[in-house]
């Protein structure tokens, strides 16, 4: 079997494998440090990540060895700009309040956004179900909630959403007295100075506007990550050693371009550093609640953002190398029967939030003459990724692909060892490892730490 081409699909785990602090907790922690920082001051790498370094965090300690972290800082101008955005960012304040609630990964983050929006819809349903309990106070055009039932559900059933609603000023708590809740008049419709119902459209427009502001803040953090310069040129992982390797990136950073001078990258979710604001895709997979659909709250949805931002939304079906080979094998059978394209996934969780892409990958190989082999790089154990694939594609599909040898799990390259240990060699697929190494080029195994 001849490997005609190689495609690499990367997720956030690729950046983490390069010891870059792109976890959700890294981002939230650094923004908290910036928010609390004094004005007219710059912040060093060691100051920003002090808590992680004190705890000997695996990623941050290796990061200091790999990159010139002593040269990194967020400047006074950047700090002042971020502080202003953070003060006005209600979504950031909400996520900051949820730090200890089990939101550890970006998948957890997406699920939290989805659950929060669904909770808003549940609360709206409950409030609109008792319109008789709205009234306007004598001195202000504001509507008070008089129902103890709604108050009980709001503070007991929806504790998380209660916080975000206060912060978005949709619901204000007066003098910390939960017996009296006041809706901001901007989100209530009136008839002859009497509150009649909620203006849900304005509620979701406000939430969407604040969401875009949050995306701006996150983009600024990724731009900071893009300034991490390695101490010495990194050795090339085998998967990148094949000429013209095409890369599809779910990341917003330019890591693969910067570190390996690679020019064939398509950014499926956009990238930071462009001239236009909000050019990255950050949100949920789809709208599930009927209220969200009725109010067209698509500003939170990734596929809508991809269309608006004109990101590289073409995936494998837009790649002629794969589609032409697949068509030839389907139409002519024997032609190209010994050729296939290897698709490597590095640092991708394969979670249901990206099920559209996963279904597209496993939409190939519809007969016994395969067009592609899929190699999933795993860290530690492949169990979670395998379970996610079975959940999305079903047991029969995944079992068939593994029995046929079309799906393989390989331990991901250890970037630190690749650059520190002259005897370390990372792995490709079983088929590729059987090939003479000159087909792929030789990785530079010189240690970057020899004179540090």
331-341 tens-digit pLDDT: 766 555 678 89
**Cβ neighbours for 132, distance < 8 A, ≥ 6 positions apart:** none
Greater confidence, 276 or 432? 432
Neighbouring residues of 380: CB distance < 8 A, sequence distance ≥ 6: none
Q: What per-residue confidence (pLDDT) applies to 134? A: 58
Give the model's pLDDT for residue 391: 97
Q: What is the pLDDT of residues 62-103, one digit of tens each?
A: 999 999 999 999 999 999 999 999 998 989 988 888 877 777
Closest by Cα among 276, 283, 371 to 332: 371
- Residue 103, classed as helix, strand or coil, is coil
- 3-state DSSP assignment of residue 235: coil
Looking at the DSSP bridge assignments, the partners of residue 73 are 44
Cα(257)–Cα(261) distance, integer angstroms: 5
Least confident of 64-68, 185-189, 409-413, 434-438: 434-438
What is the three-class DSSP state of 161?
Answer: helix
Structure tokens at 444: 């530079």
First CA to last CA across the chain, in angstroms? 44
- Cα-trace Rg, the chain: 25
pLDDT at 358 over 70: yes
Dist. CA 103–CA 133, nearest whole Å: 35
pLDDT at site 295: 94
Residue owning tokens 């929060």 = 116
Cα separation of 220 and 244, whole Å? 31
Lowest-pLDDT range, 157-171, 206-220, 272-286? Answer: 157-171
Q: The pTM is what?
A: 0.87
151-155, 278-282, 313-317 — which is least confidently predicted? 151-155
pLDDT of residue 452: 32
Q: Kindly state the percentage of the chain with pLDDT values over 70.
A: 81
Helices (H), 285-444: 290-294, 302-309, 320-332, 355-361, 383-393, 395-403, 415-420, 430-433
* Residue whose C-alpha is closest to residue 437's, from 425, 419, 424, 446: 425
Q: Which residue in 358, 423, 417, 418 sits closest to 386, CA to CA? A: 358
Q: For residue 172, what is the DSSP state? A: E
Q: Which ranges of 135-225 does DSSP label H, i.e. alpha helix?
A: 148-152, 159-167, 200-225
Query: Which of 227-231, 347-351, 433-437 has the weakest average pLDDT?
Result: 433-437
CA 324 – CA 326 distance, rounded (Å): 5
pLDDT of residue 438: 42
pLDDT for 437 beyond 50: no
Give the number of other Cβ atoms within 10 Å of residue 256's Cβ: 23
**Domain positions in the chain:** 1-18+234-268+312-452, 106-206
For residues 373 and 431, give the distance between their C-alpha atoms in angstroms, rounded to a whole number.
Answer: 10
- How many whole angstroms separate alpha carbon 172 and alpha carbon 163? 10
Q: What is the pLDDT of residue 191?
A: 73
Task: Choose between 189 and 253: higher pLDDT.
Answer: 253
Measured CA to CA in angstroms, residue 54 lies from 48, 51, 319 at distances of: 12, 5, 46
> How large is the angle between the packed helices 200-225 and 76-88, nearest 10 degrees?
160
- Between 420 and 140, the more confident residue is 420
- Cα torsion at 327, 328, 331, 332 (round to 10°)? -170
d(CA 41, CA 223): 19
Residue by residue, DSSP assigns 262-296 as ---EEETT--SS-SSSS-S--SBS---SHHHHHTT
């Amino acid at each position: 079997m001849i490997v005609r081409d190689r495609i690499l699909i990367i997720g956030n785990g690729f950046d983490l494998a390069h010891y870059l602090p792109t976890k959700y907790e890294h981002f939230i922690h650094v923004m908290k440090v910036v928010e609390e920082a004094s004005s007219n001051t710059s912040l060093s790498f060691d100051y920003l990540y002090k808590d992680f370094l004190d705890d000997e965090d695996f990623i941050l300690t290796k990061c200091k060895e790999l990159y010139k972290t002593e040269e990194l800082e967020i400047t006074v101008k950047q700090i002042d700009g971020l502080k202003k955005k953070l003060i006005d960012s209600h979504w950031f304040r909400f996520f900051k309040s949820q730090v200890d609630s089990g939101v550890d990964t970006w998948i957890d983050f997406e699920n939290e956004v989805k659950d929060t929006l669904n909770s808003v819809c549940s609360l709206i349903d409950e409030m609109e179900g008792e319109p008789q309990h709205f009234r306007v106070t004598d001195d202000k055009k504001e509507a008070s909630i008089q129902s103890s039932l709604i108050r009980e559900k709001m503070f007991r059933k929806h504790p998380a959403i209660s916080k975000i609603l206060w912060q978005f000023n949709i619901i204000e708590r007066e003098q910390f007295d939960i017996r009296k809740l006041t809706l901001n008049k901007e989100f209530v419709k009136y008839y002859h100075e009497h509150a009649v119902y909620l203006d849900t459209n304005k509620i979701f427009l406000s939430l969407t506007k604040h969401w875009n502001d949050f995306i701006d803040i996150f983009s600024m953090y990724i731009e900071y990550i893009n300034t991490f310069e390695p101490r010495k040129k990194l050795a090339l992982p085998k998967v990148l050693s094949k000429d013209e390797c095409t890369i599809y990136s779910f990341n917003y950073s330019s890591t693969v371009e910067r570190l390996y001078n690679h020019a064939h990258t398509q950014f499926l979710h956009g990238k930071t550093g462009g001239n236009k604001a909000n050019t990255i895709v950050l949100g949920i997979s789809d709208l599930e609640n009927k209220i969200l659909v009725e109010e067209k709250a698509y500003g939170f949805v990734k596929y809508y953002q991809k269309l608006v931002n004109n990101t590289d939304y073409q995936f494998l079906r837009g790649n002629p190398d794969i589609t032409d080979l697949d068509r030839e094998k389907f139409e002519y059978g024997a032609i190209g029967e010994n050729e296939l394209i290897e698709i490597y996934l590095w640092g991708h969780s394969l979670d249901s939030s990206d099920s559209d892409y996963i279904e597209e990958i496993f939409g190939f190989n519809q007969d016994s003459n395969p067009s592609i082999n899929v190699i999933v790089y795993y860290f530690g154990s492949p169990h979670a990724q395998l379970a996610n694939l079975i959940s999305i594609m079903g047991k029969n599909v995944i079992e068939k692909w593994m029995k046929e040898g079309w799906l393989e799990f390989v331990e991901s390259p250890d970037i630190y060892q690749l650059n520190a240990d002259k005897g370390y060699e990372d792995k490709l697929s079983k088929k590729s490892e059987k090939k003479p190494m000159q087909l792929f080029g030789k990785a530079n195994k010189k240690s970057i730490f020899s004179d540090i």
